[in-house]
């Protein structure tokens, strides 16, 4: 699947979708990212892997302009990070979701169009939001309260929210956490279909090395510093993963 | 005498209008306070207003302004307002700028304000008539609302309700998920500061009428009941305001017929509406 896209990547724009240059981020005394640099070509599917506390989520937040690095900078499509929110679709970690908030899935998707919370959903917005939910196979969720959705259903609602604005870059922070294998498989399938349809770039934080190897055409191995960046067959070698994760036995991921 | 006869009295009319104005602005603000888990903020800022009133009363007495014609400056509320706003800014800073949680930050402001209020009220000679006592401030005197107070309450209600309605969409988004809203370019830090400052003004003005101790109820109970009945944030907002309005009308009428204090009757009426919402509302 990933190899199909290698050929397309060679033909895309010279301006990288995401340019990260010598980024260093510190929270208090702790250095979370150190001198991280890479260019993500437009149209690529990037998997960001690394152990817990490696700075993967922080890297996504730097790309979104939510965290300003102490050193270095990030740019999206040649513009400073945070300047073009409308070109980015963001799927956050599901664990940050507040289940006491009174909302329907349709309202959540509409925030992707409006960039504020809707008091009343206009018919044109409802139509686009329903179409986005249908694209992710969740049309029946539109009027359901968010609090009643399962992990997999919530993931689809958040994905519909990210895709409803037809973003050129989709950033996902561990979207598969808390969902079952089938929901995870569907997620990759949906992302690949959106990418094939729109030519968008996808960057996703994941703990699933096997999925990264199978679905991504670029893999970034991170543990505070960059330990590898390139195609899966080059980067996902035992040595690279051992350097980042600090232990061996990733054979199950590498055998796929 | 019936309630209609009572409505002929200007003091009852002022109480009714003031109560409704407070119900509307507290109902709107309460939605965001409850959803942001800041219910203790109402208590904290109401007690900050008490501290500000104490300082104000002391300054007015010691500077010889009592009974003077300097209008504004003879009202402790004009000291309570900036004091509450500073307390709100301190709470907001402690929340964002340190590792302290909201309830700890509010608890610190609460305790310091009460200590200041008690200290400064104790410095005022007992025979001095300011037109406002510490007991009135603590327990409220909605039937004692004066003409000048009413205009101030109406002005604050109109201004704050307008701001809350204009910013409702962005406040709702930031309340749902601060990070998601920031990723979409919403300045959530500025919004939170504005929300805290609005809360300080609404609470300081309202607490002087409904009482420091009961103020948090106005902010929290209608919004909490609305949360139990509503499916969306817009519904919650409408129901919260309606709950506040209905409980104010019913509470004032009940207090009139039962001849009991109106502030506590309004709060108990709110509670009477909350109980069925909790028992039969959405789970």
| Residues of chain B with C-beta less than 8 angstroms from the C-beta of A101 | 35, 175-176, 233
The answer on pLDDT for B23 being more than 70 is yes
Closest chain A residue to the Cα of B236, Cα to Cα: A102
**Residue A178's pLDDT band (boundaries 50, 70, 90)?**
low
* CA angle centred on A153, ends A152 and A154, rounded to 5°: 90
The alpha helices in chain A, defined as continuous H runs, are 2-9, 56-64, 105-114, 123-135, 151-163, 181-198, 209-215, 232-235, 238-245, 251-254
Q: What Cα–Cα distance (Å) separates residue A253 from each residue in A186, A197, A211, A238, A240?
A: 19, 29, 8, 10, 13
Q: Which of B171, B176, B231 has its CB closest to that of A145?
A: B231
Distance CA B42, CA B137 (A): 15
Tokens of A217: 């055409």
Whether A117 sits inside 8 A of B169 (CB atoms) is yes
Distance CA A19, CA A13 (A): 13
The answer on pLDDT for A94 being more than 90 is no
Residue-wise pLDDT for B141-182, tens only, equals 888 888 888 999 999 999 999 999 999 999 999 999 999 999
The answer on pLDDT for B77 being more than 90 is no
**Of B135, B92, B108, the residue nearest B44 (C-alpha):** B108
Q: Which of A85, A100, A120 has its CB closest to that of B183?
A: A85
pLDDT value, residue A247? 63
Q: Which of B172, B179, B231 has its CB closest to that of A117?
A: B172
- What ipTM is given for this predicted complex? 0.87
Q: What Cα–Cα distance (Å) separates residue A8 from each residue in A41, A196, A217, B71?
A: 11, 10, 11, 76
Residue-wise pLDDT for B231-273, tens only, equals 999 999 999 999 999 999 999 999 989 988 888 899 899 999 9
**Of B42, B207, B37, B93, the residue nearest B139 (C-alpha):** B207
> Is A102 at the interface with chain B, CB within 8 A?
yes
| Residues of chain A with C-beta less than 8 angstroms from the C-beta of B236 | 102
* Architecture in CATH of B3-274: Orthogonal Bundle (1.10)
The answer on pLDDT for A8 being more than 60 is no
Tokens 């309260």 identify what position?
A: A145
Whether A98 sits inside 8 A of B231 (CB atoms) is no
Q: Enter the pTM of the model.
A: 0.89
Pick A8 or A97 by higher pLDDT.
Answer: A97
pLDDT value, residue A256? 44
| Residues of chain B with C-beta less than 8 angstroms from the C-beta of A90 | 180, 183
Query: How distant is the alpha carbon of residue B69 from its chain centre?
Result: 28
Give the long-range contacts of residues A10-15, CB within 8 A, separation 24 or more: A12/A41, A12/A42, A12/A43, A12/A199, A13/A42, A15/A42, A15/A77, A15/A78
Residue-wise pLDDT for A37-63, tens only, equals 999 999 999 999 998 889 999 999 999
> Is A85 at the interface with chain B, CB within 8 A?
yes
Residue of B39, B225, B232 to mutate, testing the A interface (most A Cβ within 10 Å of its Cβ): B232
> Is A113 at the interface with chain B, CB within 8 A?
no
Whether B180 sits inside 8 A of A97 (CB atoms) is no
Distance CA B190, CA B85 (A): 15
Q: What is the overall mean pLDDT for chain A?
A: 86
Distance CA B127, CA A45 (A): 79
Pick B229 or B136 by higher pLDDT.
Answer: B229
Structural element, H or E, at residue B19: helix B10-35
CA distance B228 to chain A (A): 9
Show me where the domains of chain B are located.
3-274
Whether A92 sits inside 8 A of B179 (CB atoms) is yes
Furthest C-alpha separation in chain B: 60
> Is B168 at the interface with chain A, CB within 8 A?
yes
> Is A178 at the interface with chain B, CB within 8 A?
no
**Of B102, B79, B82, B80, the residue nearest B91 (C-alpha):** B102
| Residues of chain A with C-beta less than 8 angstroms from the C-beta of B232 | 102-104, 107
**Of A242, A245, A243, A222, the residue nearest A33 (C-alpha):** A222
> Is A153 at the interface with chain B, CB within 8 A?
no
pLDDT value, residue B251? 93
**Residue A10's pLDDT band (boundaries 50, 70, 90)?**
very low
Distance CA A217, CA A203 (A): 10
Distance CA A41, CA A16 (A): 5
**Angle, nearest 10°, between helix axes B10-35 and B188-210?**
150
The answer on pLDDT for A205 being more than 90 is yes
How far from each other are the two terminal CA atoms of chain B, in whole angstroms? 44
The answer on pLDDT for A117 being more than 70 is yes
Tokens 């959803």 identify what position?
A: B35
- The answer to whether A99 and A147 have CB atoms below 8 angstroms apart is yes
> Is B179 at the interface with chain A, CB within 8 A?
yes
pLDDT value, residue B208? 79
Q: Which of B170, B179, B234 has its CB closest to that of A66?
A: B179
Whether B35 sits inside 8 A of A101 (CB atoms) is yes
The answer on pLDDT for A202 being more than 70 is yes
CA distance B229 to chain A (A): 10
Whether A103 sits inside 8 A of B176 (CB atoms) is yes
């Amino acid at each position: 699947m990933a190899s199909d896209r290698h050929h397309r990547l060679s033909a895309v724009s010279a301006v990288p979708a995401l340019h990260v240059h010598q980024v260093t981020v510190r929270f208090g005394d702790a250095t979370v990212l150190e001198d991280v640099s890479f260019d993500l070509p437009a149209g690529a599917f990037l998997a960001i892997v690394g152990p817990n506390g490696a700075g993967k989520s922080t890297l996504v937040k730097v790309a979104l302009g939510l965290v300003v690095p102490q050193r270095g900078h990030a740019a999206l499509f040649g513009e400073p990070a945070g300047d073009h929110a409308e070109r980015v679709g963001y799927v956050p970690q599901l664990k940050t979701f507040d289940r006491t908030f009174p909302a329907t899935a349709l309202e959540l998707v509409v925030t992707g169009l409006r960039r504020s919370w809707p008091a009343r959903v206009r018919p044109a917005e409802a139509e686009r939001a329903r179409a986005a939910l249908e694209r992710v196979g969740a049309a029946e969720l539109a009027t359901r309260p968010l609090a009643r959705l399962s992990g997999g259903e919530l993931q689809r609602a958040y994905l519909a929210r990210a895709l409803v604005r037809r973003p050129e870059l989709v950033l996902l922070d561990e979207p598969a956490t808390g969902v079952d294998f089938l929901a995870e498989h569907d997620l990759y399938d949906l992302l690949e279909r959106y990418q094939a349809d729109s030519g968008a770039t996808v960057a996703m934080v994941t703990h699933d090395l096997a999925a990264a190897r199978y679905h991504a055409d670029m893999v970034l191995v991170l543990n505070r510093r960059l330990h590898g960046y390139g195609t899966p067959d080059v980067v996902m070698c035992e040595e690279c993963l051992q350097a980042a994760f600090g232990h061996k036995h990733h054979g199950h991921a590498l055998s796929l | 005498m019936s309630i209609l006869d009572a409505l002929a009295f200007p003091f009852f009319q002022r109480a009714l209008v003031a109560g409704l104005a407070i119900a509307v602005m507290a109902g709107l603000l309460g939605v965001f306070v409850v959803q942001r888990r800041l219910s203790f903020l109402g208590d904290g800022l109401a007690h900050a207003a008490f501290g500000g009133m104490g300082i104000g009363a002391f300054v007015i007495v010691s500077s010889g302004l009592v009974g003077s014609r300097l209008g504004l400056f003879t009202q402790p509320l004009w000291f309570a307002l900036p004091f509450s706003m500073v307390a709100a800014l301190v709470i907001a800073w402690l929340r964002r700028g340190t590792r302290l949680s909201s309830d700890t930050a509010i608890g610190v402001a609460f305790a310091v304000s009460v200590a200041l209020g008690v200290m400064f009220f104790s410095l005022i000679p007992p025979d001095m008539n300011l037109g406002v006592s510490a007991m009135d401030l603590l327990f409220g005197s909605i039937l004692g609302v004066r003409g000048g107070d009413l205009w101030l309450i109406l002005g604050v209600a109109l201004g704050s309700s307008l701001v809350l309605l204009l910013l409702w969409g962005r406040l709702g988004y930031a309340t749902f998920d601060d990070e998601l809203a920031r990723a979409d370019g919403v300045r959530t830090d500025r919004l939170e500061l504005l929300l805290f400052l609005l809360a300080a003004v609404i609470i300081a003005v309202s607490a002087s009428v409904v009482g420091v101790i009961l103020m948090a109820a106005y902010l929290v109970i209608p919004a909490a009941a609305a949360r139990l009945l509503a499916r969306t944030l817009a519904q919650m907002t409408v129901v919260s305001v309606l709950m506040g309005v209905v409980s104010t009308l019913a509470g004032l009428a009940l207090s009139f017929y039962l001849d009991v204090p109106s502030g506590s009757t309004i709060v108990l009426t709110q509670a009477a509406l909350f109980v069925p919402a909790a028992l039969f509302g959405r789970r």
